[in-house]
Structures are given as C-alpha cells and as structure tokens.
C-alpha cells in the first residue's frame, strides 16, 4: 500500500467547490489497500482530525466557532499562515507515516505548503493539480513579489495534472516540464445526475407518480409554474462568472423566462440590487447554497443551464448540467472549449454581451430539434469521457502509479 499526503487549503464540510468535489470523488474510488490518503487543510471547526470518505483529514491553524462574517475575515488572515502550519504538520505526519508522495490541490497556499515540504524532502514525489478558474493575469498579479517562489511550485512538481488544456498551457508557460503535464478533467457521478424517479425519491424522500409530477413539485417549491422557462446557473457569485450579464439578458426575453441562481458569494448583495433596479424580482430566484447531493433535483426542475463566464479553468457545473439532460450555454473561454462544441454539445454566447445570451436562449426555446440534438450529444459525451469512475481510474494509472515506478 502506498501513502499520499494531500495539501488542500479548504475541504469538506465547510467548503465544497469543484476542487473539493474532485478530491472526494477520486479518493472514494481508489481502494485504501492500493493507496491511502491523508490531508492537511485549514481548520475552522473544533475537530482537529477526522476521517471523511477515504481520507484522514488533519486540520491546522486555530479553530473557532463563529458566524460567516467573522469566519471569512479570519480566513483571510489564516490562509496566509497556512503554508507554514501545513509544513509543520506535514513534517510530523511524515515522521510517523512515511509518505510515498505529496499532492497539492491547486497552486495556491496549498501549493506553497507542498513546495516547502518538497524542499525539505526532495526525494518524495510532488504532484500538483491545477483547478484554477480565475484569469491567469489576475493570479499572477495577486502573487506579486512572491512570483519567483510561486513559479517554483510548477518547476519543482514531479507531475502536474490539469483539468483542461488551457491550464496545461499555463503550467508549461510557468516552466513545467511538458512531459510531466497530464490533462485529466473533472467529472460527474453520471448515475446520480440522471433524470429518474429513483433519483428524485432518493434525494427528496417522497413518492412521485411520474417524472413530470416530481419536476412540477420542485418547480412549485421554487415559485415557478409549469409554463415558465427556467434558466439555471450554478456558481460562486463572483465577477468571473458574470451573473450580472445573465440577469441583464432577461430584459430581452419574454416574461415567462425565469432565472434560478444557485450559489453564494461576495457579489450576492450587488446582484440582488441589480435585480431590484431592473424590476426583475418576480423573475429571479436566489436559492443560495444548495448541498451538492441535492443539486440534481434543481437541475431537473430547470430547462436551460447558462453561465457566461469571463474565465474558466474547466467548470464542473457545465458537465453536471449536461449529465442532467440540460442544454448548456457558455462562453468560449478557458477550459470550456475542451468539452463544448458550438451547436453540438452546447451553444456559445459572446463574452460580456447580455443580448447575445438572450439570442442563444431564444434559439433553444424555439428550436426544439436543435435543443434535443445538443442534449443527446452532450449526454453521450459525458457518459463516455467524464464519469468519475473513469476519471479516478485515469488518476490512479496515469498520475499516482507513475510516481512509484523508478525511471
């Protein structure tokens, strides 16, 4: 049995984003008898350690119990200290467990922690996973004077796994050895996102006469009628996801077109103010945070998935929407181009253009034949290439196992 220590700035249960979902889905599908996983992550709760799935999670820093506002303000401070907390904990854990490799989730503060450990233990292989969705220019600007040290995260990594070709190109630009870079995308639990009575009853725990009955119940709970066309977006409410453009697009669409926004973020207040200023309160529903295991039912209750991103490393939510049987509208940026082919597996709208978003929505509403063609192509692609079982197998064989084989 091999042992891998994961460095991740945040993890379940407090933070659940695309990267955290990926780590859990991959490690849950690798037998502990083959590879065991420990993790060092930032502490928020009183629990210093616990087992989550197939990972022994060790939390570092100062735990505290407080409301979200206090938590977020302290998080901004503690994340800067995380590389040092993580390094100290990793050294202690390594003395006990003798790890065969370390694995950093993103080139952020976790990347610095893994890099520092690598400098202490140069013979232990270092895997870097890139899941970043922010614009590369923004990331470089944020690093500032630490850029030379930041670049070492890429040059000292023995293997780099990226979720898109866009991020693979970034890794090479940062000095990574091209032969060390492997593109393995994020995935989706296809069986859990398939539109079925079994899945509805599994998640919501009530009996349904048929699929349409189940769908109507969810729509009714959200305040939508059966005649409404429900657009849905699942994302952090931050600038890069351009939810403001999506809200503005409703001005160019019929009144029966409604919008369901799932997610939270720093722009939530501004977006609600925009909705009020545009007098769209009756057409926009903010659902807030939805647990990932309940997300499929909200997708099944919707009609079209839209996220007009300004930048995107890949975007798990697009793949999950495709697996749910929704047509997808997106922008031609970052890693999206790896899986979305215009007119075949989705539609591209223009970046920063609400009218363009509205035009693509109208096309899917009016052209049922094109819509069905897109849904079938996208669904087939996800089953063939993006199921988490396939992704976990590739991670084990193409990334982890290669670390343990001498050159």
Look at residue 75 in the predicted model and tell me its pLDDT: 59
Look at residue 218 in the predicted model and tell me its pLDDT: 86
- 130: part of which helix (H) or strand (E)? strand 126-130
- Between CA 18 and CA 131 the distance in angstroms is 8
Tell me the fold of 190-385: Rossmann fold (3.40.50)
Look at residue 45 in the predicted model and tell me its pLDDT: 67
pLDDT of 198 above 80: no
* Mean pLDDT calculated for residue range 260-274: 95
* Mean pLDDT calculated for residue range 376-405: 92
* Mean pLDDT calculated for residue range 14-32: 89
- Between CA 7 and CA 82 the distance in angstroms is 10
Distances (CA, A) of 204 to 191, 251, 295: 16, 34, 11
Look at residue 68 in the predicted model and tell me its pLDDT: 47
Look at residue 70 in the predicted model and tell me its pLDDT: 46
Looking at the DSSP bridge assignments, the partners of residue 275 are none
Burial call 224-244: b when 16+ CB within 10 Å, e when fewer: beeebbbbbbbbbbbbbbbbb
Look at residue 377 in the predicted model and tell me its pLDDT: 97
The full set of domain ranges for the chain reads 2-187+388-403, 190-385
Output 98 or 197, whichever has higher pLDDT: 98
Output 30 or 47, whichever has higher pLDDT: 30
Equal CATH topology for 2-187+388-403 and 190-385: yes
* Mean pLDDT calculated for residue range 288-295: 90
pLDDT of 140 above 90: no
Mean pLDDT of the chain: 91
Q: Does domain 2-187+388-403 have CATH number 3.40.50.300?
A: no
Confidence of residue 326 (pLDDT cuts 50, 70, 90): very high
Task: Provide long-range contacts, Cβ within 8 A and 24+ apart, for 136-139.
Answer: 136/170, 138/311
**What whole-number percentage of the chain has pLDDT above 70?**
93
Q: Which two tokens stand for residue 357?
A: 């978003």
């Amino acid at each position: 049995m091999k042992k891998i220590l994961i460095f991740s700035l945040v993890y379940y249960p407090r933070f659940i984003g695309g990267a955290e979902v990926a780590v859990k889905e991959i490690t849950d599908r690798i037998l502990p008898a083959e590879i065991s996983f420990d993790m060092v992550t930032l502490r928020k709760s009183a629990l210093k350690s616990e087992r989550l799935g197939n990972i022994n999670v060790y939390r570092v820093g100062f735990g505290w119990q407080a409301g979200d506002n206090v938590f977020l303000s302290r998080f901004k401070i503690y994340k800067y200290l995380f590389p040092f907390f993580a390094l100290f904990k990793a050294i202690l854990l390594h003395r006990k467990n003798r790890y065969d490799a370390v694995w950093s989730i993103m080139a952020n503060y976790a990347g610095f922690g893994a890099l520092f450990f690598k400098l202490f233990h140069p013979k232990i292989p270092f895997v870097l996973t890139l899941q970043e969705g922010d614009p590369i220019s923004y990331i470089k600007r944020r690093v500032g004077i630490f850029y030379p040290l930041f670049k070492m995260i890429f040059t000292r990594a023995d293997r780099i796994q990226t979720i898109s070709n866009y991020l693979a190109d970034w890794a090479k630009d940062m000095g990574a050895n091209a032969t060390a870079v492997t593109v393995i995308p994020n995935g989706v639990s296809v069986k859990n996102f398939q539109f079925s009575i079994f899945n509805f009853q599994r998640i919501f725990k009530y009996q349904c006469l048929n699929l349409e009955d189940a769908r109507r119940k969810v729509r009714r709970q959200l305040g939508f009628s059966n005649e409404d066309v429900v657009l849905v977006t699942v994302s952090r409410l931050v600038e890069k996801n351009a939810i403001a453009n999506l809200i503005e697009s409703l001005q160019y669409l019929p009144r029966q077109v409604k919008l369901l926004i799932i997610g939270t973020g720093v722009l939530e207040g501004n977006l609600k103010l925009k909705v009020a200023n545009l007098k769209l309160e009756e057409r926009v529903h903010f659902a807030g945070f939805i647990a990932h295991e309940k997300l499929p039912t909200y997708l099944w209750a919707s009609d079209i998935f839209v996220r007009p991103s300004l930048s995107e490393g890949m975007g798990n939510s697009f793949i999950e929407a495709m697996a749910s049987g929704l047509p997808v509208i997106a922008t031609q940026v970052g890693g999206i181009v790896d899986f979305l082919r215009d007119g075949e597996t989705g539609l591209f709208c223009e970046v920063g253009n609400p009218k363009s978003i509205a035009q693509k929505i109208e096309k899917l509403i009016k052209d049922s034949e094109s819509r069905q063609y897109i849904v079938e192509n996208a669904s087939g692609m996800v089953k063939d290439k993006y199921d988490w079982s396939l992704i976990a197998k590739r991670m084990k064989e193409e990334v982890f196992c290669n670390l343990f084989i001498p050159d």
